[in-house]
Structure 1
Amino acid sequence: MAVGQPPVHKPQWFKSSYSGGNTTECLEAAFTPVVVLIRDSKRSSGPRLKVSKKAWAHFITDVPAR
């Protein structure tokens, strides 16, 4: 059995259900085993924000439902 790095999987991105209907205000997130990645859907190859799963859970809990 070959020893090496584990396979790299591409994150599966999804759009926020609260994104604007005019597609100008869209956030996408992807869950990895270690962090949650966040990006602007208009700039998918642009910068990404990485937050811990715990920070993401606090964010989701603390943001008031609209």
Structure 2
Amino acid sequence: MTNQTRRWVKSSYSGADNGNCVEIAVGETAVPVRDSKRAEQSPVIAFGREAFTAFLGSVTNNR
């Protein structure tokens, strides 16, 4: 799937005023992540679902 055909969702923690914005694409086996400021020109990093879930758990628990 390409950047153009993915459905990207901006993180609810991305601040409009600080410019730190990330997006993930939903509905895929892996979890692609990109910089929303660069959108279509942004490199995409894909994480396995298990690794991404562990990452979110760590962030939520301030680890």
Say yes or no: TM over 0.5: yes
Residue segments in structure 1 that go unaligned for 5+ positions in a row: 1-7
- The match for 1:60 among 34, 56, 59 is 56
Could you say which structure has the greater relative contact order, defined with CA pairs below 8 angstroms and 6 or more residues apart?
2
Higher helix share: 2
- CA RMSD between the two structures: 2.2
Match among 18, 21, 26 for residue 21 of structure 2: 26
Percent identity over paired residues: 34
* Unmatched runs of 5 consecutive residues or more in structure 2: none
- How many matched pairs? 59
Moved over 4 A (4+): none
- Please say which structure displays the higher CA radius of gyration: 1
Give TM-score scaled by structure 1 length: 0.73
CA distance in 1, matches of 2:16, 2:26: 24
Letter in 1 for 2:6: P
TM-score by structure 2 length? Answer: 0.76
